[in-house]
């Protein structure tokens, strides 16, 4: 049995609904864009928890405009950075740069995050990208320069790793041969030499410089004479000497 729907005064609206839907379509109903006000208010209040929650809701809303999503991503990345959630901050910077890859500030800030993670290669690439977009970007210029110098120092240290302050080819003393044969002892010897030289250069007057160098000479002489004797711990003696050089008495 078929059920007949009779359209009365009230029922006429129901009967007309299918025709209205077919005529206009559901997608024709205007849905306003997402409201960025709560996210912006959280940013103004410097409330990182609310920034993460409210700007996150704005980011996830499909009705959010492109410009508002970019601002929300930048704001949330900043909040994640301040909370030391570096990977999440990088992810937001990634998303923001997909929206607008012309943002020099974003490349620089992401570079700083990569540097915190000690991924110096990616950090240098991002600082370079920021400078390509804006050659006068002050933060990116400073970051690129300091990281380049850091990489040079690391390269120099790697070249010296396992090498003492003296030439192993001309080593004759048993203690020198022992140092040359052990990378850890070789590094200690070089660090002792460097720390002492730094103190001598920084001495207030020539007398103090001579006194510091005399102490170093006495340490070397004692080391040479004591090595090989029962109970003599070369590594500990060298570590103690380095510690004293790094924290000299007043």
DSSP string, the chain: -PPPPP--TTHHHHHHHHHHHHHH-GGGS--PPPP-HHHHHHHHTT-HHHIIIIIHHHHH-TT--HHHHHHHHHHHHHHHHHTT-HHHHHHHHHHHHHH-TT-HHHHHHHHHHHHHTT-HHHHHHHHHHHHHH-TT-HHHHHHHHHHHHHHHHHHHHHHHTT--SS-GGG--SHHHHHHHT-HHHHHHHHHHHHHHHHHHHT-SSHHHHHHHHHHHHHHHHHHHHHTTSTT--HHHHHHHHHHHHHS---
pLDDT digits (tens, 9 = 90+) for 60-89: 999 999 999 999 999 999 999 999 999 999
In this predicted structure, the answer to whether residue 238 has a pLDDT above a threshold of 50 is yes
Mean pLDDT for 123-130 is: 92
Q: Is 162 left (phi over 0), alpha (psi -120 to 50) or beta?
A: left
Please, how many CA atoms are within 13 Å of residue 125, restricted to the half-sphere of its CB?
5
Going by pLDDT thresholds of 50, 70 and 90, the confidence category of residue 10 is very low
Sequence-separated (6 or more) residues with CB below 8 Å from residue 7: 14, 15
Q: Which pTM does this prediction carry?
A: 0.56
80-81-82-85 Cα dihedral, nearest 10 degrees: 60
Instruction: Please name each of the domains of the chain with its CATH number.
Output: 37-159 (1.25.40.10), 168-246 (no CATH)
Q: What is the pLDDT of residue 231?
A: 95
pLDDT, mean over the chain: 86
Q: ∠211-214-219 over CA atoms, to 5°? A: 130
Going by pLDDT thresholds of 50, 70 and 90, the confidence category of residue 154 is confident
pLDDT digits (tens, 9 = 90+) for 156-170: 666 777 889 888 998
Going by pLDDT thresholds of 50, 70 and 90, the confidence category of residue 31 is low
């Amino acid at each position: 049995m078929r059920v007949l729907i009779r359209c009365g005064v009230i029922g006429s609206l129901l009967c007309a609904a299918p025709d209205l839907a077919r005529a206009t379509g559901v997608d024709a109903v205007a849905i306003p864009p997402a409201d960025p006000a709560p996210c912006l208010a959280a940013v103004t209040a410097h409330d990182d928890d609310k920034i993460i929650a409210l700007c996150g809701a704005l980011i996830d809303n499909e009705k959010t405009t492109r410009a508002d999503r970019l601002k929300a991503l930048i704001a949330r990345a900043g909040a994640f950075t301040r909370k030391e959630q570096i990977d999440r901050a990088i992810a937001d910077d990634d998303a923001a740069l997909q929206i607008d890859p012309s943002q020099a500030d974003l490349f620089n800030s992401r570079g700083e995050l990569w540097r915190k993670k000690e991924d110096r290669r990616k950090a240098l690439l991002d600082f370079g990208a920021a400078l390509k977009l804006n050659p006068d970007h002050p933060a990116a210029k400073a970051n690129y320069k300091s990281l380049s110098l850091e990489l040079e120092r690391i390269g120099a240290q790697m070249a010296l790793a396992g090498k003492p302050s003296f030439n192993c080819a001309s080593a004759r003393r048993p203690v020198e041969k022992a140092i040359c044969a052990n990378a850890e002892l070789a590094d200690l010897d070089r660090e002792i030499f460097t720390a002492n030289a730094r103190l001598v250069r920084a001495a207030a007057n020539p007398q103090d410089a001579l006194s510091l160098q005399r102490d170093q000479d006495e340490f070397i002489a004692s080391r040479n004479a004591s090595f090989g004797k029962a109970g003599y711990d070369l590594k500990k003696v060298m570590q103690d000497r380095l510690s004293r050089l790094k924290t000299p008495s007043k």
